[in-house]
Amino acid sequence: MEQKYYTNERNIQIVISLLKQHGIRRVIASPGATNVTFVASIQQDPWFEIYSSVDERSAAYMACGMAAESGEPVVISCTGATASRNYMPGLTEAFYRKLPVIAITSHQGTHRIGHLIAQQIDRRNPPADIAIESVTVPVVKDNADERFCEIEVNKALLALKLHGGGPAHINLFTTYSKDYSVVQLPKAHVIRRYSQYDKLPELSRNGHIAVFIGSHKPFTEEETKAIDVFCAANDAVVFHDHTSGYYGHYGVRNALMVKQHFNTSVKQIDTLIHIGEVSGDYDGFGFSKNIVWRVSEDGALRDSFGKLTDVFQMPEKVFFEKYTPKDAPTHHEYLDECKCVCQKVLSDIPELPFGNIWMAQYLSKHIPAGSNLHLGILNTLRSWNFFDVEKDVTTNCNVGGFGIDGNMSSMIGASLVHPDKIYFGIFGDLSFFYDMNVVGNRHVSNNVRILLINNGRGTEFRNYNHPGAAFGEKADEYIAAARHYGNKSENLVKHYATDLGFEYLAASNKQDFLTNVERFLTPELTSMPILFEVFTDSQNESDALYTINHLYPKDATKPSMKQIVKNEIKSVIGERGMKIGRAIWGKD
């Protein structure tokens, strides 16, 4: 008989590899056809300690006893049909005793459920008290499937110790492959989880270290200090946008730098430390990274960058303090490098067409100190993420659900908390009209300033780099939803706003804007709220975005970014700057 090795089914290989890497070796296998590829693969691997049980109900209880006695996880494996149903009493026992039992139930695929096909048991909604975590591991067809399977299997195996431990469930698909020719088991990507009481992995300091902050509640003074002291001790920087809540000393607004078509070592990160929640800073994701550490008290596997290796289930302050060497000298070379490149890129922005980005460029320098700024999602947030505001201007955006439906209401709600503070809101027309009822709310006060950017459509869908742009003006019909809400009427919003007690301003070009913006930016409370409607053109919006994304040509005959910034550094900050430049681009 031909020698059998591992199955060629990649999803099953991933399960086996991760069981081994997580140190799980005991398996109780029940007979069946659907789990043959899993059982046949592990029975020839001496790593595993395998036992047989015909009765699945008994197998699950055997696993409970074995796990309780050994203190180690135990796998149970069964086929389709009612086999998995018989696991439920034992898994219930494991759930309430917090025993690390992992049920691997093999399955032919969700697509076969509900079609009167024999032995197709629907396991998509297991009872709440038989598993801490239940995942599905489908057949792998491409790299995206493979990464998904790796995350899901890691999630299930890590759940065995989560919140005191307990059982987990993997619904494992199979194609009944008869190919067992894989001699060397391919290694799957393992993810580790740590608590503040565990022995923590070493932080490599051989390359750049950066902290990436998604949307985040405001940091306390102590939390900000912990981040800054960590950065100083590890020569790290903080990449963040206007939703991060971070106002420390090591922040870099990196979106504009990352978008440029030049290579510098500042965009090459060895270890990225990811904190916070959803980020709308799509442009800021474009740096290279080797490994990603996720720090969050929820301990969940959030693989935003596709490079997650470790999860630290602890308060962020605790994490940063644990990785700050005592009496370490202060370093900010990497911060200097990043700021130098960012400043050079900002200084090379040419005159932009009138639109959202041009207004963000202007207003970011003039928003009154102590104000609060609320940004509409996507186009507006992206436009403002290219530019800094003063550190005492707080910023917010609805990036949690990332919808246009409540941007303005969120700003109005916030404005009610501090009536003596000015709240600015920057919104596109679709977002404004979607949420316009709140403008008539009787609690709206004189501390509200709304900038309505009215281009008569969802201009995002007309931007040069959006799939909708391929349809040209035809995109306006249903993709960009143009010509609603008065079709850029000069009177509709004016009458609506003034009748509701707003002071109304309007502009259609740069000169009109500059004439009216001083009133809009008045640092004192005015007698009534202000609504400033600005009419823009979608082509100008798209042209501005293209310009700011292509500040440096790819033409090799022109000076390279390396040479341009090298000269800039030399002229601005002298020999120390040259040292920084050599660190960024090499000795020459």
DSSP 8-state symbol, 278: -
Does 134 have pLDDT greater than 70?
yes
Task: Give pLDDT tens digits for 545-587.
Answer: 999 999 987 643 344 555 555 555 555 455 555 454 544 444 4
pLDDT on residue 565: 53
- Domains of the chain (ranges; CATH) run 10-186 (3.40.50.970), 209-330 (3.40.50.1220), 356-549 (3.40.50.970)
- The helix (H) or strand (E) run that includes residue 414 is helix 407-415
Percentage above 70 pLDDT, the chain: 94
In 3D space, the residue among 345, 356, 365 whose CA is nearest the CA of residue 252 turns out to be 345
pLDDT on residue 119: 78
Tell me the three state secondary structure of residue 93.
Answer: helix
What confidence category does residue 213 fall into, taking pLDDT thresholds of 50, 70 and 90?
very high
What confidence category does residue 124 fall into, taking pLDDT thresholds of 50, 70 and 90?
confident
Does 325 have pLDDT greater than 60?
yes
What confidence category does residue 115 fall into, taking pLDDT thresholds of 50, 70 and 90?
confident
Percentage above 90 pLDDT, the chain: 84
Alpha helices, H only, 436-488: 475-478
What confidence category does residue 263 fall into, taking pLDDT thresholds of 50, 70 and 90?
confident
How many CA within 13 A on the CB side of residue 487?
A: 3
Contact call for residues 207 and 233 (beta carbons, < 8 A): no
Residue with tokens 């395998």: 50
pLDDT on residue 286: 82
Task: Give pLDDT tens digits for 186-210.
Answer: 999 999 999 999 999 999 988 999 9
In 3D space, the residue among 4, 39, 38, 35 whose CA is nearest the CA of residue 179 turns out to be 4
Q: What is the rounded average pLDDT of the residues 232-244?
A: 96
- Mean pLDDT of all residues in the chain? 93
DSSP character string of 341-401:
HHHHHHHT--PPPSSHHHHHHHHTTTSPTT-EEEE-TTHHHHHHHTS---TTSEEEE-TTT
Contact call for residues 367 and 424 (beta carbons, < 8 A): yes
Contact call for residues 294 and 301 (beta carbons, < 8 A): yes
pLDDT on residue 563: 55
pTM: 0.91
CA distance linking residue 147 with residue 304, whole number of Å: 12
Q: What is the rounded average pLDDT of the residues 422-427?
A: 98
pLDDT on residue 118: 77
pLDDT on residue 261: 83
What confidence category does residue 217 fall into, taking pLDDT thresholds of 50, 70 and 90?
very high
Residue with tokens 């020839």: 44
Q: Which residue has the higher pLDDT, 42 or 112?
A: 42
pLDDT on residue 123: 84
Q: What is the rounded average pLDDT of the residues 332-349?
A: 94
